[in-house]
Amino acid sequence: MFQIKKLKSRYRFIELLDPNYYAKYKNHLNKLHRCKLHYYNQPIRTFGQDDRKSPLVDHFHEIWDSDSLLRDEYQKFISQELAPYFPNESKLIIQKTPNIRFHLPGCSNIGRRESDLTEEHIGVHCDEEFGHPKEELNIILGLTEMFGSNSIYYALNGEEDLDEFQNLKLHIGEVFIGKLNTAQHYNKINKTNFTRVSLDFRIIPFSKFKNAEPLKSNQKFKIGKYYTSINI
C-alpha cells in the first residue's frame, strides 16, 4: 500500500515551527544548511547510533514539549486526514511524538549500515528489522518540498535492484501513506540546494493493534510509551 494524497485542509506545522527555527538559526526550514552546524561537518553518520543526535532534532523536541498548539495540530491532522481511512474504527493508535527529519545538502539524513552494498545507497532497511509491528502504516508529511536526493527511495514492488527504487516526490500539501515496515528504503547524499524537513510517524487501527504480535514481546511498542491512542 503506497499512496500520495492531497490534504483536505491546511495545517499550521510550518507556521508553528519555521519561526522557532528562524529565531534560533536565522534561516528558514529549507535553508537550515546555511547555519553551518558542526554536527553536519560529518555528512554520513552511523545508523542507529549518532544519526539522530542532530541539534536540529533536539530543538524540535524542545518545541514539542513546550507548545501545546503543535501537539493539538498533530492530533487534528490525524483526525481530519487519516481517520476517514478507517470508518469502522473507534480509535487509532498513533506514534506519541512524530519524528522530524532534516536532510541537508551534502549530507545523508540517516546513517550508514555495515550491510549497505554501495557507497551511494545509505541506510538500506525496512522498519520490521527493528521490531516495528507489521500492522503499522507510515505517514510522511513534507514541511518543505521533497524530491530527488533530498527525499527517500523505497521499494515500490519489492525490487531488489536499489537503483530501481521509487523516489518519493512530495509537495507541501500532500501526504504519503505506506507500509515501510516491510518495504526497504534508503537515503542518498542530498545533492539538491534545499534542506528537506519532514514529519513522519506511524499509526495502527485499534482493532489490529490488539493482535499485533511484536507488541507482546517488545516493551517499547506500548501505549503510553511509543504510542498513544485517540478517539476518532
**Cα gap 47→170, rounded to integer Å:** 24
pLDDT at residue 159, as a whole number: 82
Alpha-carbon distances, residue 44 vs 30, 92, 193, 222 (angstroms): 19, 35, 17, 31
pLDDT at residue 231, as a whole number: 93
**Cα gap 37→144, rounded to integer Å:** 19
- List the domain range (segments joined by +) for residue 88: 2-231
Residue 6 has pLDDT above 80, yes or no: yes
**Cα gap 134→147, rounded to integer Å:** 27
Considering its fold, how many domains does the chain have in total? Answer: 1
pLDDT tens, position by position, 72-89? 999 999 999 999 999 999
DSSP labels, 15-74? HHHHHHHHHHHSS-GGGGGGG--GGGGSSS-BTTTTTT--HHHHHHHHHHHH-HHHHHHH
pLDDT at residue 146, as a whole number: 98
- Whether 28 and 193 have beta carbons less than 8 Å apart is answered as no
Q: Which of 154, 139, 142 is nearest to 188 (CA)?
A: 154
**Cα gap 68→187, rounded to integer Å:** 32
Task: Output the domain CATH number for residue 60.
Answer: 2.60.120.10
Query: What is the pLDDT averaged over residues 29-52?
Result: 96
**Cα gap 19→101, rounded to integer Å:** 17
**Cα gap 26→173, rounded to integer Å:** 25
DSSP labels, 142-198? ESS-B-GGGS-EE-SS--SSGGGSEE--B-TTEEEEE-TTSS-EEE--B-SSS-EEE
Tell me the pLDDT band of 122, cut-offs 50, 70 and 90. very high
202 φ, ψ (degrees, to nearest 5): -120, 150
pLDDT tens, position by position, 155-213? 988 888 999 999 999 999 999 999 999 899 999 999 999 999 999 999 999 998 866 65
Residue 126, helix vs strand vs coil? coil
Region of poorest pLDDT, from 66-75, 92-101, 156-165 = 156-165
Indicate the average pLDDT of the chain.
94
**pTM, to two decimals:** 0.94
pLDDT at residue 214, as a whole number: 52
Tell me the pLDDT band of 219, cut-offs 50, 70 and 90. low
